[in-house]
Amino acid sequence: MTGWVPSRSVEAELAIRTLNRVRVLVSRGRLLFGLAPGPAGPSYRSELNEVGIVRAFSVLESFLTDRGDSLFRRDLPVPSAPSAMVKYAHSQILRSFRGDFERGPVAFWKSGLGVELATFPRWQDVEDYRQLRNTITHALGYVRPGGSKMPQAIERRLRAITLDPSSFVGRIPIADRDFDDIASLVLEFVLWADGQRP
């Protein structure tokens, strides 16, 4: 008799559950802000979508880190009483997941696990939402001329409202469809990545 084998990893299940909680939170917030009187409703709704985008992308990053750690421990077991060298090596790899997305989890999945994440069919969308998430997180969703070069994903997004994104000053437009799309994207990505290294 064989035992039941789950179709997804524990980390994928956790990511999916967390993403579903974010979807519920955003949809309930939309209902609430849809009833808000005056101009505050649309403004709050946009901010709600920003929060949802940031949280959804963090689910993707957390999955890559947690699943990477589990696969690392499985492929290169860490003893229950690890030596100083084993502790150091493990902590250095896990520390590499924090900070830069490309040099952290993406590089580990490619070099350590043999999975080229950029082969995911919607990888460019992942990159675009990462740039949007970074702008929301580090610039409160606002752009202004000057300073560092505007990310291409932000420039493309602004082209929908202006002919000259480089001179645009203001908040990046974010609609309900943006959160809905990233939520679907993160789900697709988690299922795809989980299937690459069962």
- Taking CA 114 as the corner, what is the angle to CA 79 and CA 95, rounded to the nearest 5 degrees? 50
* Weakest mean pLDDT among 79-83, 103-107, 161-165: 79-83
Residue 28 lies in a domain: yes
Residue 116 lies in a domain: yes
Its domain, for residue 118, covers 10-196
Residue 71 lies in a domain: yes
| This model's pTM is above 0.75 | yes
pLDDT in tens, 29-80: 888 877 655 566 567 888 899 999 999 999 999 999 999 989 988 888 778 8
Residue 4 lies in a domain: no
Residue 134 lies in a domain: yes
Residue 3 lies in a domain: no
Q: How far apart are CA 182 and CA 172, in angstroms?
A: 16
Residue 1 lies in a domain: no
- Structure confidence at residue 31 (pLDDT): 85
- Structure confidence at residue 30 (pLDDT): 85
As for how many domains the chain has, the answer is 1
